[in-house]
Structure 1
């Protein structure tokens, strides 16, 4: 400190210039933090607004004695830094999940985010990203606190000038509020931080209230007490397959970059299936999730409940609410199996889904390379499903729940189709994976991400439909759909949450049962095809195939 004081004494002009610069930067940081939006689409004019929180803070800090002022400045700066971090979290969540960060429910998602980074960037890259995040979490509140303290000290030394400035800006703020004055389409008077705090408080209350209400909702089930003999009688003897294609959303079918290739694949697959005797109808379902959290889409579709957050997921999977696969199991006329290449740890939800058996990532015999997050190519998953389960002689038909993962972000590298008889243990994919695009080359490039995403959906659809051509029979009924739209870097900031859904069968009676749904013939839904909430599918499906409602719960 002595050296610093000596330097200031020896270089007064430079010291004054540096001091003014630091003060200006500190003030700018405080104002920018108060005006920072919590969504990724930012207008620069937003930062020209006058934040009322800064005016109130200036009045309070200027009026206090030194010691209380410093304590309040430090606390206020830390709070401002935490609020800034929450806004940044919101921006990230909007980019990847199409919603803001829920401070009660979303902490558990960080472990999944780290696992995704590890699969995408490798262990070293993931550790580097984690270190950067930790540094940011410590740095932002510290710098915010120092900035508020710096500005408060300057205001305290110049109380008269501060008072005059606050009075003028307060008059500007009130006038702007009364007249609705704007700069670049943004209100000149801002109360953004107060508004966001109120919104967060309301979100906490809503989350707690929703938890209680959803628990009651999950106890009520239209088909909860339906006798086994009255569940899906019109599908007896059918080999049922419910399949999700990762991130297969409406954008894949309608976006100008992805759609041409995907639509060609859907149309060609429709024709190939028709030549094999299969026909399809397709429509749109609005997913309960967006960009990620696939399990929310899976549970919404299978349960008929709107499962749009982690607490609802925990609640419903702990209940006895009937899922589609459980409905088939309950009849006693089907065996049930889950094919889960993305599951790499314990999965207690299998019991709730009513699955007699689950084949996870380690039980499918794959010895080839991972394709980023995806543990194995969809073609291999489907072939092992055939060998290990679907082809086995059994006394009952099979109701299967299959998750395909090759179209999971970051859409690099992407598998390619190989001869079905050449799949072996999966090592044939070594050369394909090594020659593929690296995740780091596309992860931040919107155009390349879109191109990769479109190709990955084409691959998944091709693998699934070729499998059906190869192994399906007169009693096979395939229901396949996307779990959610891809992230906003691919689908856009204002994309819908719609995903395609198709029912495919050889037996014409199967599709006749849904003739009144208004769905489009073929695998590609028309733009104006019906759009239903994903949670409505279970009851519509059970009803269409002869199930009789016997409600349970309240």
Structure 2
């Protein structure tokens, strides 16, 4: 007979506690069961945030000033189409499409943010083909403005924001796609109703607060980006052919600017010196006083001046596009065009002087801090960049040195030396470059030395991060920076100008839209100064205004027109056109 022994129950001290070992989903389910009202509130909140996020992405403006609540009180047709597509798909394809839509909306939002930044600073939208390289320049600018740590932190924050946008957009679209599937009947009816309302309001042109209720904003933005890409690609080939045509390209050396033989000709650019500096009532008073007093002081020194307006090919930044447009006679409105023209042999104003063999040609470019192969394109025999002007003082944010010092260094290194031939110089002044803080102050010309005198000036200046964040302060400091640059030039001319000095003084572009205004023109002042009255007589038929300040109704030319007008005015004759 078998004997069965009852064993005592075994225990296992290592067995996991049931409560602790429950999966996360179990804990969440129990929390929902225990707190139904709170769980319901969270679900509704998540759904509402998902809807708001998608509506924001579909209706988001591309300009800061356009952010009003009425912009979002419209019906986006893209949401209706998206809901209809998701409703007819099975589960797996629906989830896949929801993820793709989320990624697409994330990309659209990032592009819109880039558009906002470019519109705010450069007065134009972001170009998918050309503008990625400008992000490096933006990073360098932020390093000069905020310091290396601040710029790095901002870059990390921007990347984190982009990753977050893509993540939350995907989560939002997946959540809403699941919601549509769970409540299919209601979702179908709601989608149909929205489609009917959208169609009727579109057909009838119904508006709310001046905006159409029926919106296709996202589709329009995608179309705009596509057109930009298409236009850019077409422009590349067309401009390459345009750049080959040059009416002065084959002009013999002895027929180039014969009426300026023996003159020192200085093409001097003042950074961001635009029409707003002369006409905006919030900026102009100090600038116009400086221009008028400068005109009087230079007249006492024997200089005459005549001024007009040029429409720059760039706005708010990318100064090199303005410089190359002015000097080449071609409309250089993009980085692509700039690369095309600088890799060719199109005749620039500066190279015309080099070609004669009668001038020594130099460039004073304190803003250049790396290799600058464009010097050959511009026809410069010698270039003085940020590291070859002998400056040992502090940087002023982006600007490597004050304009007064750069001009004094030009005098010491070139203009003031004994020479066997005259000078032609391209001088690019930088003190009026954003963020316009801290701004240098004029010191005694005999006190400049190696620039160390500016240490105290820089330390006493306004914090650039404060100026960047305040539009009104930016306007104020911008005006002061232009006054400083103009004063540096006029005092240099008074001190060092000779009977043979001819200066073409101009701005390269308007300041950023936050300062000049969203609807500001692209015009910049341009002035020709000389002691020899015959120099100004040559342009007497241009209709320009006497003095440093151009009248509001003075002629306005495209900047690309200046080269040929200048060469013609001073005796140049076309050769056999190249191309």
* TM-score normalised by L of structure 1: 0.99
Q: Aligned runs of 1:196-211 on 2, under 5 Å?
A: 196-211=221-236
Distance across 1 between alignment mates of 2:297 and 2:28: 79
Distance across 1 between alignment mates of 2:144 and 2:321: 21
> Could you say which residue in structure 2 is the equivalent of 1:397?
422
Equivalent position to 1:356, from 376, 381, 398: 381
- State the Cα deviation string for residues 502-524 of structure 1 (Å, max 9, x = none): 00000001000101110000000
> Could you say which residue in structure 2 is the equivalent of 1:331?
356
Give the deviation of 1:35 after TM superposition. 0.7
The question of 1:35 aligning with 2:59 is answered: yes
Contact 2:250 2:578 in 1 (8 A): no
Distance across 1 between alignment mates of 2:183 and 2:541: 76
Task: Name which one, 1 or 2, has greater alpha-carbon Rg.
Answer: 2
Give the deviation of 1:41 after TM superposition. 2.5
- State the Cα deviation string for residues 297-353 of structure 1 (Å, max 9, x = none): 000000000001100000000010010110000011111000010000000000000
The question of 1:236 aligning with 2:261 is answered: yes
Instruction: Note the residue ranges of structure 2 that are not aligned, 5 or more in a row.
Output: 1-24
> Could you say which residue in structure 1 is the equivalent of 2:439?
414
Distance across 2 between alignment mates of 1:24 and 1:295: 48
Distance across 2 between alignment mates of 1:256 and 1:551: 48
Contact 1:241 1:399 in 2 (8 A): yes
Distance across 1 between alignment mates of 2:65 and 2:338: 30
- State the Cα deviation string for residues 107-162 of structure 1 (Å, max 9, x = none): 11111100000000001110111111110111111111111111111011111111
Distance across 1 between alignment mates of 2:327 and 2:451: 30
* TM-score normalised by L of structure 2: 0.95
**Aligned length in residues:** 554
Distance across 2 between alignment mates of 1:77 and 1:360: 48
Distance 1:319 1:23, change over 3 A: same
The question of 1:3 aligning with 2:32 is answered: no
> Could you say which residue in structure 1 is the equivalent of 2:108?
83
> Could you say which residue in structure 1 is the equivalent of 2:7?
none
Q: Aligned runs of 1:389-538 on 2, under 5 Å?
A: 389-538=414-563
Distance across 1 between alignment mates of 2:145 and 2:525: 27
Contact 1:219 1:552 in 2 (8 A): no
In structure 1, the residue corresponding to 2:272 is in which secondary structure? coil
The question of 1:66 aligning with 2:91 is answered: yes
Q: Aligned runs of 1:207-222 on 2, under 5 Å?
A: 207-222=232-247
Distance across 1 between alignment mates of 2:275 and 2:219: 37
Distance across 2 between alignment mates of 1:106 and 1:340: 24
Output the aligned Cα RMSD.
0.8
Contact 2:350 2:424 in 1 (8 A): yes
> Could you say which residue in structure 2 is the equivalent of 1:18?
42
Give the deviation of 1:2 after TM superposition. 2.4
Which stretches of structure 1, 4 residues or longer, exceed 6 Å deviation after superposition?
A: none
The question of 1:153 aligning with 2:178 is answered: yes
> Could you say which residue in structure 1 is the equivalent of 2:330?
305
Distance 1:267 1:156, change over 3 A: same
Give the deviation of 1:257 after TM superposition. 1.5
Equivalent position to 2:198, from 148, 162, 173: 173
> Could you say which residue in structure 1 is the equivalent of 2:212?
187
- State the Cα deviation string for residues 462-492 of structure 1 (Å, max 9, x = none): 0001001111101100001001000111111
In structure 2, the residue corresponding to 1:499 is in which secondary structure? strand
> Could you say which residue in structure 2 is the equivalent of 1:119?
144
In structure 2, the residue corresponding to 1:351 is in which secondary structure? helix
Distance across 2 between alignment mates of 1:196 and 1:451: 35
Contact 2:397 2:437 in 1 (8 A): yes
Contact 1:404 1:460 in 2 (8 A): yes
Distance across 2 between alignment mates of 1:359 and 1:317: 19
Distance across 1 between alignment mates of 2:452 and 2:282: 32
In structure 2, the residue corresponding to 1:106 is in which secondary structure? coil
Give the deviation of 1:96 after TM superposition. 0.5
> Could you say which residue in structure 2 is the equivalent of 1:318?
343
Give the deviation of 1:196 after TM superposition. 1.3
Instruction: Note the residue ranges of structure 1 that are not aligned, 5 or more in a row.
Output: none
Give the deviation of 1:551 after TM superposition. 4.2
Distance across 1 between alignment mates of 2:87 and 2:27: 30
In structure 1, the residue corresponding to 2:132 is in which secondary structure? helix
Contact 1:220 1:551 in 2 (8 A): no
